[in-house]
Structure 1
Amino acid sequence: MKPNRDFEELQPPTFGLLLRRLRDTRGVSRERLAFNAGVSASYISHLEKGDRGHPTREVVDALVRYLDRIDPLSVVERRHLLDLAGLGVSEFPSIEQLRAEITDDMRRALDLHEPNLAAYVDTRWNVLACNASYAQAFPGLDRDVNILRWFLGNDLAREVMLEWEAEVRLTVHWLRGLIASSGDTAWSADFLAELGSFGLFRDIWDEGIAAYGRPSSIMHLKDNLTGRCRAIDVQLFSVFSAAYPTQIQIFLGIPTWCADPGIQLDPDHLRPDARGDQR
């Protein structure tokens, strides 16, 4: 894909922007929401504009209770709103810091998983280390490092990912949820600026949907040696790290040949619905 750069600066998700979207979709005025949540209309206005710090848990709960009375929030919307309120996890370590935690024994363990696909990745889907089967299945990803950078900027991704656009859409939705759950959106600014050079990323980002996982564990790849379809059963496990607990995961992909070599894939296979719930 060719980057498109002539666009305004992308903005990370904020509590105020999401609150306004939830309020607008329910046809609720600031005054009405404020009255029922026990706060002032000017306070709601300041929250939506980002002029105030993070609201307290009590205020968020009151806002959610009233919005739920009008139209219940989905599980994803509720989590996304709480994350953006600053109730998420701490900031992320750098890729270099995480790679320093991958020991020689851990690298040898990747080879023991052959011929299954195995890699250590962080929660932002940066590849920290991988085995040969993983590198072969996702050509160039170990060099591009990040899955979204590979999806959008490496032509090989289109060739091997048989549900390329659906996987891109799911991963962009996942990125929105990840930024919120970090509790600190500042780290995402440079990454969004890089990805914002791609028109497809901007289009999907503008959907405003968050995701927190895959609706299906199966990923379909074209084997770049035989050209046949392979169904990869994807599993993720947290890896203990005393320095960075919960930040390192091991990706394990168990491949089988697709039953039908000419498989026709459902384009909605990985598509979340419009409110961010997973099918």
Structure 2
Amino acid sequence: MSEDEESGWFAEDIAVPTFGQALRRLRDERGYSREHLAYTAGVSASYITALEKGERGNPTRSVVDSLLRCLNLMSPLTPTDRRHLHELAGLRMPETPAPEELHAAITPDQQRALALFEPALAAYLDPCGNILDANDSWNAALPGLREDGNVFRWMFGNEQAKVVEVDWESEARQYVQWLRMTVGRAPDDPVFTTFVADLAHFPDFHRFWSEGSVDFTPPVRTQRLRNPDSGDIREYSVQAGPVHNETYPDRITLLLCLPL
């Protein structure tokens, strides 16, 4: 029986990220056996097995730091991998509010700001990528997104996305990496588990999710969009940042796309 069969973990499975899955991926990437990692980290091999199978509770910070230190000796870990493993080990976010609740929490001033951003593309999103509100430029540049109501469902379920997104493959992969990072902060949140299960029906989403990569949403990045009518391509500077909200702190994000 292979190690994959023994652990019951398969790379192609669609499941929310767990500490055990992330640890297994980092260990495999470095060619560590469970015994080697356990020895260098000062724990037992059976404990590593139990962690990877999800049969033990979250490890303490000292154990996580020891595991990360040992993994880093073999091959340097990225800041993303370090933070992700720490979050999976116990940092939790409260359950995600419904989009309707977040939309109602957007203040009149924040709504008026969307019009003031014109001709830049501007929208408010929730952690699952639901569009809470958007200006006219956003709706015009991203046809079909307002009707779909969610950037992930649009990206993977609407053929217009592949027309509009000039670099669709890399953009879609990044979206999945960002979602994995977000879900990792609250892997037991039913809003996220249901959402991921729903997206798993899209083959491209399944493909990217199975790669297991994670990343943080950068505060500034570049994106290219194609006008579906003229075929003209325009480059945007995309800025993302949290919107201040006393009721739902850190639950609403402003996405602003400035034409370059």
CA distance in 2, matches of 1:121, 1:49: 34
What's 2:114 paired with? Answer: 110
What's 1:77 paired with? Answer: 81
Query: 34, 37, 40: which is aligned to 2:41?
Result: 37
CA distance in 1, matches of 2:27, 2:13: 25
CA distance in 2, matches of 1:35, 1:156: 52
Q: After superposition, where does 1:112-127 map in structure 2 within 5 Å?
A: 112-127=116-131
Identity of aligned residues (%): 46
Task: Report deviation, 1:42.
Answer: 1.5
Alpha carbons 2:17, 2:187 under 8 Å: kept: no
Alpha carbons 1:83, 1:183 under 8 Å: kept: no
Q: Does 1:241 align with 2:245?
A: yes
Task: Report deviation, 1:9.
Answer: 6.2
What's 1:219 paired with? Answer: 223
Query: 25, 38, 54: which is aligned to 1:21?
Result: 25
What's 1:193 paired with? Answer: 197
CA distance in 2, matches of 1:153, 1:103: 31
Task: Report deviation, 1:63.
Answer: 0.9
Query: 177, 196, 202: which is aligned to 2:206?
Result: 202
Cα distance change on mapping 1:29 and 1:186 into 2, 3 Å? farther
TM-score normalised to structure 2 length:
0.89
CA distance in 2, matches of 1:194, 1:175: 13
Where 1:92 maps in the other structure, the secondary structure is: coil
Alpha carbons 1:119, 1:131 under 8 Å: kept: yes
Q: After superposition, where does 1:57-68 map in structure 2 within 5 Å?
A: 57-68=61-72
CA distance in 2, matches of 1:112, 1:144: 25
User: Over residues 146-175 of structure 1, what are the superposed CA-to-partner deviations in whole Å (9 max), with x where a residue is unaligned?
Assistant: 111001111211121111121111111111
What's 1:158 paired with? Answer: 162
Q: After superposition, where does 1:85-100 map in structure 2 within 5 Å?
A: 85-100=89-104
User: Over residues 74-115 of structure 1, what are the superposed CA-to-partner deviations in whole Å (9 max), with x where a residue is unaligned?
Assistant: 111111211111225333222122111013332222111111
Task: Report deviation, 1:50.
Answer: 0.2
TM-score normalised to structure 1 length:
0.83
Task: Report deviation, 1:54.
Answer: 0.9
Where 1:149 maps in the other structure, the secondary structure is: helix
Where 1:152 maps in the other structure, the secondary structure is: helix
Gaps in structure 2 of 5+ consecutive residues: 1-11
CA distance in 2, matches of 1:92, 1:215: 22
CA distance in 2, matches of 1:143, 1:53: 42
Moved more, 112-121 or 126-135: 112-121
CA distance in 2, matches of 1:15, 1:133: 41
CA distance in 2, matches of 1:40, 1:147: 44
Where 1:217 maps in the other structure, the secondary structure is: strand
Cα distance change on mapping 1:27 and 1:165 into 2, 3 Å? closer
What's 1:181 paired with? Answer: 185
Cα distance change on mapping 1:24 and 1:53 into 2, 3 Å? same
Cα distance change on mapping 1:130 and 1:170 into 2, 3 Å? same
Alpha carbons 1:151, 1:157 under 8 Å: kept: yes
Amino acid across the alignment from 1:34: A
Alpha carbons 1:222, 1:230 under 8 Å: kept: yes
Cα root mean square deviation, aligned: 1.9
| Corresponding pairs, count | 249
The structure in which a higher percent of residues are helix is 2
Gaps in structure 1 of 5+ consecutive residues: 1-7, 257-279
Task: Report deviation, 1:239.
Answer: 1.1
What's 1:133 paired with? Answer: 137
Q: Does 1:232 align with 2:236?
A: yes
Moved more, 215-224 or 71-80: 215-224
CA distance in 2, matches of 1:137, 1:182: 32
